[in-house]
Chain A
Amino acid sequence: MRLLNRSAGRLSRHRRGPLAGLLVIVAGLLLSGGLFTAVVNTTAQADETASSDELVAQGRDLFLVSCAFCHGQNGEGVSTQNGNQLGPSLVGVGEAAVDFQVGTGRMPMAQPGAQVPTKPETFDDEEIAALAAYVGSLGPGPAIPDESDYSLEGLSDEEREAAISRGGQIFLTNCTACHNFEGSGGAMPRGGYAPSLHETSAKHIYEALLTGPQNMPNFGNGNLSPDEKRDVIAYLYSLREMPDYGGFGLGGLGPVPEGMAAWLGGIGLCVGFAVWIAAHTTRSNKKKVDA
């Protein structure tokens, strides 16, 4: 008891100390945080509607700050005086469009131009989710695909192989005309371009197929079934994992870099050797004679 009294006295002595408030807050946060993580799964499931409402509200706040200038305060789009669009309406573009555009750093756009390039993302994953939730709430549209939509998980080896070769043919039929035969990208009219697919994540490829960003046509599920989309992605990933059988790929751009290599490398080397051979002429003496 004495011990208790003494410690209580010591506590009370520090009670009004300069760090006391901070310590109490930290302790409180740790406690509540720990409790939250312990029970979050059940509670989050329980009131999903409430939290998605919150997410939409959070997304709307972000939208008003970063997107509304071009897309309008309610995502209705903004037209300029001469009838062009500053930003298109986002009603019905779906969460997938937001996740693609913001997740690859294309949006928010730095400047108008022929095409919006990718750049380091401005928002983190939670903020992107909030923005997507808000835009998704404006009208029905394609949802963000789940990982199970584009993964080959659960298929047997044979099914996988069949999926990859099927995906390759779909890719060569539908995508290579713009994106090039191994997804290195290609030119589009007036400064536009089909970007390289070498680094694009599976989710973003899937979303691009669903929503048809910029110049790209929309490959809805009626066009390419979800399984076919999955197969295309599996084919592209198989190309990434495949060794370069022929040696350095020269950027995978076809005969133009090959021609440059033949001229600069091949002919350059041969002419260099010709100069060397002609410069080292014969002599009858072991000692070098000045000509």
Chain B
Amino acid sequence: MDTSKVADSNRTTAATASKPNRVGAVATWADERLGLATLAKKNLRKVFPDHWSFMLGEIALWSFVVLLLTGVFLTLWFTPSMGEVQYNGSYEQLRGIHMSEAFASSLRISFDVRGGLLMRQMHHWAAMLFIAAMMIHLLRVFFTGAHRKPRELNWVIGCLLLLLGTLEGFTGYSLPDDLLSGTGIRAADGFIKATPVVGTYMSFLLFGGEFPGESIIPRLYVVHVLLIPGLLLALIAAHMLLLVYHKHTQWPGPGRTEKNVVGFPMLPVYAAKAGGFFFIVFGVTALLGGLLSINPVWKYGPYDPSKVTAGSQPDWYMGWPDGALRIMPGIETHIWGITISWNVMLPILVLPMLMFTILLLLPFLESWITGDKREHHLLQRPRNAPTRTALMVALMTMYGLFWAAGGNDIIAIKLHASINQITYFLRGAVFIGPVIAFIITRRWCISLQRKDNETVLHGYETGIIMRSPEGGYSERHLPLPESRAYALTARDRDPVVNGVEAGSDANGVPAPGQGRLAALRHRIRTMWYSDNVQKPTRDELDHGHHHAEHEHELQESMEGHAADGHQFDGHHLVDDESLRH
């Protein structure tokens, strides 16, 4: 500690404050009117733990800021109207063609507004990054158990953000009114119409009459620039307020408990880190927008319901329902003169809603199964919750396979495969793949748990091969550093479930809840924990250490001459060598 500033004399005159400098004066002026100091006092010292995976959500936040900035730029020139005009701008290939004002203004932004194409492309790339970052952030949260109490509601808010982000992306994709976006709106119209009974009414309501009409672009524009961004902003604010309220989670380690957060304060460290990260995300978006062409609307041309292009895909985040639609067998029911299009309804309306509901409920389902209602601020390594990790990997596998189905035509032409065979394969794979992924991931996690226990009990492998006087070989193990051993064992002991009867706890005491639901819960809970490896007990640890000491004693006679082995290859002088470990 620096003690040079401490007073070292007793004066006889009273100490007076020196005149404040200008910054201080401004700060005081503001504080006296806004009360900022009280807020800042606490929050400028807010602690963030250091780990790369805690910055994934920031990618989403910063790309949202890029979206706001570039989006405001685009609104200055975009005309959300379906009124027909003749194009006379600088893109020659479309000159003289009749098109909507929306498309004409998209071309104008691309070719006639200075920096317009860069802004359009940055806006589009930032949207892709925004949703991708939300997804990897969601995966990190789930894999580390950060969705457990007290953060379930923040998980729900995050899921809503993901849903709204997807809708926002879709409306933005639809606005330029080029061939691709028009095809997308046409598809959306079909999805709405596939809703039984009310489908056509909803479609007429949305389009203000028969597709395409003249109202859809202005309506989507309002949704895109006003409604959803407002909701997104409000939910992001709520998400971050809850983050501050809950405090950040952290990885277990020495000195880290459920009641503290070990890390660096907001000012000066994290303000610099996070602020710097904003510029990095901005830079990456600018790099993508400047170098890689995205949605070249001038090549698609204006939308016209009689036209379509091969490779008509939605942006990636809508790719998986599109994939489900592509591989769905064509099943329809005709009943009382009404056609129910299962082939559209199941993959596009039912499946995404079902998956979203499952996603929303995951934290609640988990705590119902495990019965764990405690607060958790220390994270779990994915391997220490094998069933949960495997569950998410299974969902990811399903998502990935549907995703692949969404690009089946591109896969077919790039890999010279038959699109039919790809479809048949994926129809099976979307069901079988997740099961295989679940089993493999679960066993993999359990193996990693065993390996952790092995390291804690018997030390880590040094790579030093010892030869005993009898001629036997063994690898030298050395005990883990204390802090590492602490981190590895700082996890909860899983409840014992094997051999426990339904309706009673681990000690055979009857537990409340005898119904069918309780029995089901018991069965799932048994499966949830069944093969988990517990961390070593104190006895096992003592035994392990004792064993290691014994081993050391046995090898003591060799301590003087033993070495890492390489010196004893006959080519080196070994007189001064000592054991290296």
> How many angstroms from the CA of A180 to the CA of B300 in the assembled complex?
9
Instruction: Decide yes or no whether B315 CB sits under 8 A from chain A.
Output: yes
| Pair A187/B412 contact, Cβ less than 8 Å | yes
29 contacts between A and B (CB under 8 A): A164-B92, A164-B93, A165-B92, A172-B301, A187-B409, A187-B413, A191-B419, A242-B93, A245-B111, A245-B293, A246-B293, A247-B291, A247-B292, A248-B292, A250-B293, A253-B311, A255-B319, A256-B311, A256-B407, A258-B294, A259-B319, A262-B288, A266-B125, A269-B284, A271-B56, A271-B136, A274-B58, A277-B276, A279-B52
- Contact mask for chain B residues 275-288; partner A; CB cutoff 8 A; 1 contact, 0 none: 01100110011011
Q: Given A177-B308, A258-B294, A277–B410 Cβ distance below 8 Å?
A: no
Q: Mark A32-49, 1 if CB is under 8 A from B, else 0.
A: 000000000000000000
The answer, yes or no, to whether A182 is at the interface (CB within 8 Å) is yes
Check A255/B417 contact, CB under 8 A, given A172-B179, A267-B129, A274-B59: no
A255 B315 Cβ-Cβ under 8 A:
yes
10 shortest A-B CB distances, which residue pairs? Answer: A186-B310, A259-B316, A246-B293, A262-B128, A191-B418, A187-B409, A254-B311, A278-B52, A274-B55, A187-B412
- Give chain A interface residues in 144-178, CB to chain B under 8 Å: 161-162, 164-165, 168-169, 172-173, 176-178
The answer to whether the Cβ of B420 comes within 8 Å of any Cβ in the partner chain is yes
Asked whether, in the complex, the Cβ of A249 is within 8 Å of the Cβ of B293, the reply is: yes
- The answer, among A161, A169, A187, A255, for a CB contact under 8 Å with B314, is A255
In residues 75-97 of chain A, which contact B (Cβ within 8 Å)?
none
* A263 touching B132, Cβ below 8 Å: yes
Tell yes or no: A124 within 8 A of B by CB: no
Contacting residues, chain A, for B307 (C-beta < 8 A): 172-173, 176-177
- Which residue of B is nearest A164, CB measured? B93
Task: Check: A199 CB closer than 8 A to any chain B CB.
Answer: no
Decide if B312 touches A278 in the complex (CB within 8 Å).
no
Could you tell me the distance in whole angstroms from the C-beta of A62 to the nearest C-beta in chain B?
30
CA distance A266 to B294 in the complex (A): 13
Asked if B70 lies at the interface with its beta carbon under 8 angstroms from chain A, I say: no
Q: Which of A179, A254, A263 has the most CB of B within 10 A?
A: A254
Once the chains are docked, how many angstroms separate the CA of A283 from the CA of B13? 40
A275 at the interface (CB under 8 A from B): yes
Contact-residue bracket for chain B: 35 or more
Q: Does B246 have its Cβ within 8 Å of any Cβ on chain A?
A: no
Q: Once bound together, how far apart are the Cα atoms of A282 and B269, in whole Å? A: 7
A189 at the interface (CB under 8 A from B): yes
User: Is residue B264 contacting chain A, with contact meaning CB distance below 8 A?
Assistant: yes
- Which of B94-102, B331-339, B519-527, B569-577 binds A? B94-102
Q: How far is the CB of A38 from chain B (nearest CB, A)?
A: 47
Given A181-B310, A262-B132, 12 more pairs with CB closer than 8 A:
A165-B93, A181-B299, A186-B413, A187-B409, A187-B413, A193-B413, A245-B298, A247-B121, A255-B314, A258-B316, A262-B125, A271-B52
Report chain B residues within 8 Å CB of A265: 288, 292
Q: Assess whether B273 is interfacial by the CB under 8 Å rule.
A: yes
Is there an interface contact between A281 and B50, defined as CB atoms closer than 8 Å? Answer: yes
Residues of B within 8 A of A188 (CB): 419
Contacting pair B128 A172 (CB below 8 A): no
Q: A239 — which chain B residues lie within 8 A by C-beta? A: 93, 299
Which of under 10, 10 to 19, 20 to 34, or 35 or more describes the interface residues of A?
Answer: 35 or more
CA distance A191 to B424 in the complex (A): 13
| Contact partner, A267, options B111, B136, B306, B313, Cβ 8 Å | B136
The DSSP consensus for interface residues of chain B is helix
Cβ of B555 within 8 Å of any chain A Cβ, yes or no, is no
List B contacts of A180 (CB < 8 A).
Answer: 309-311
User: Which residue numbers of A lie inside 8 Å of B, CB to CB?
Assistant: 114, 161-162, 164-165, 168-169, 172-173, 176-182, 184-191, 193-194, 235, 238-239, 242, 244-250, 252-259, 261-263, 265-267, 269-271, 273-275, 277-279, 281-282
What are the residues of chain A within 8 A of B73 when measuring CB–CB?
Answer: none
Give the A-B pair count, Cβ closer than 8 A: 211
Inside 8 A of A168's CB, which chain B residues have their CB? Answer: 93-94, 97, 301
B295 CB, min distance to chain A CBs, angstroms: 7
Contacts of A161 in B (CB 8 A): 92, 95-96
Closest residue of chain B to A280 (Cβ to Cβ) is B273
Known contacts A161-B92, A245-B111, A245-B117, A266 near B132 by CB under 8 Å: yes
A248/B409 contact (C-beta < 8 A), A271-B56, A281-B264 known: no
B311 adjacent to A246 (CB under 8 Å):
no
Q: How far is the CB of A152 from chain B (nearest CB, A)?
A: 13
Interfacial chain B residues near A263, Cβ < 8 Å: 132, 316
- Contacts A187-B408, A245-B298, A271-B136; is A255 near B313 (CB within 8 Å)? yes
Determine the chain A residues whose CB is within 8 A of the CB of B133 once the complex forms. Answer: 267, 270
Residues of B within 8 A of A248 (CB): 291-293
Within the assembled complex, what's the spacing in Å between the Cα atoms of A161 and B96? 9
A162 — which chain B residues lie within 8 A by C-beta? 96
A165 x B280 contact (CB < 8 A):
no
- Judge whether B296 and A245 touch: CB under 8 Å: yes
Q: Is B51's CB within 8 Å of the partner chain A?
A: yes
Contacts of A176 in B (CB 8 A): 179, 307-310
A99 to B1, CA, bound (A): 89
CB–CB B52/A189 < 8 A: no
A244/B293 contact (C-beta < 8 A), A181-B309, A282-B264 known: yes
Q: How far is the CB of B139 from chain A (nearest CB, A)?
A: 12
CB distance from B296 to the nearest CB of A (A): 5
Least CB distance from B169 to A in Å reads: 11
CA distance A273 to B310 in the complex (A): 37
Chain B residues with CB below 8 A from A279, complex form: 52
Residues on A with C-beta less than 8 A from B311 are 180-181, 184, 186, 253-254, 256
Q: Is B54 an interface residue when CB atoms closer than 8 A count as contact?
A: yes
For the complex, is B110 an interface residue (Cβ under 8 Å from A)? yes
CB-CB under 8 A for A254 and B59, given A187-B419, A246-B292: no
Interchain nearest-CB distance for B75 vs A (Å): 20
With an 8 A cutoff between CB atoms, is B230 at the interface? no
A181 (CB) vs chain B CBs: closest residue: B309
Residue of B nearest to A167 (CB): B93
B284 touches A266 (CB 8 A): yes
- Asked if residues B410 and A253 are in contact (CB atoms below 8 Å), the reply is yes
Q: Is B392 part of the binding interface, using a Cβ–Cβ cutoff of 8 Å?
A: no
A162 CA / B93 CA spacing, docked (Å):
8
Q: Which residues of A contact B508 (CB under 8 A)?
A: none
Contacts of A235 in B (CB 8 A): 93
Chain B residues whose C-beta falls within 8 Å of the C-beta of A274 in the assembled complex: 52-53, 55-56, 58-59, 277
Given A191-B418, A254-B313, A261:B277 Cβ within 8 A: no
B398 proximal to A (CB < 8 A): no
Name the residue on A nearest B285 (C-beta): A266
- Of B128, B280, B416, the residue contacting A273 (CB under 8 A) is B280
Known: A247-B291, A258-B295, A258-B316. A270 touches B281 (CB 8 A): yes
Q: Give A169 to B179 CA distance when docked, in angstroms.
A: 11
B180 at interface (Cβ–Cβ under 8 A)?
yes
Q: B329 to chain A: which residues have CB within 8 Å?
A: none
Beta-carbon nearest neighbor of A249 in chain B: B293
**B510 interface hit (Cβ, 8 Å):** no
Q: A189-B420, A254-B311, A278-B51 are in contact. Are A246 and B92 (CB under 8 A)?
A: no
Residue of chain A at shortest CB distance from B317: A259
| Set of chain A residues within 8 Å of B416, measured between Cβ atoms | 191
B213 at interface, CB cutoff 8 A: no
Q: What is the distance, in angstroms, from A118's C-beta to the closest C-beta of chain B?
A: 13
Shortest CB-to-CB span from B64 to chain A, Å, is 13
Cα A259 to Cα B315 with chains together (Å): 7
Q: Is the CB of B420 within 8 A of A190?
A: yes
Closest chain A residue, CB of each to CB of B314: A255
In the docked arrangement, what's the CA distance between A185 and B294, Å? 18
Identity of the chain B residue whose Cβ is nearest the Cβ of A176 in the assembled complex: B309
> Roughly how many angstroms separate A180 CA and B180 CA in the complex, as a whole number?
11
A262 to B295, CA, bound (A): 13
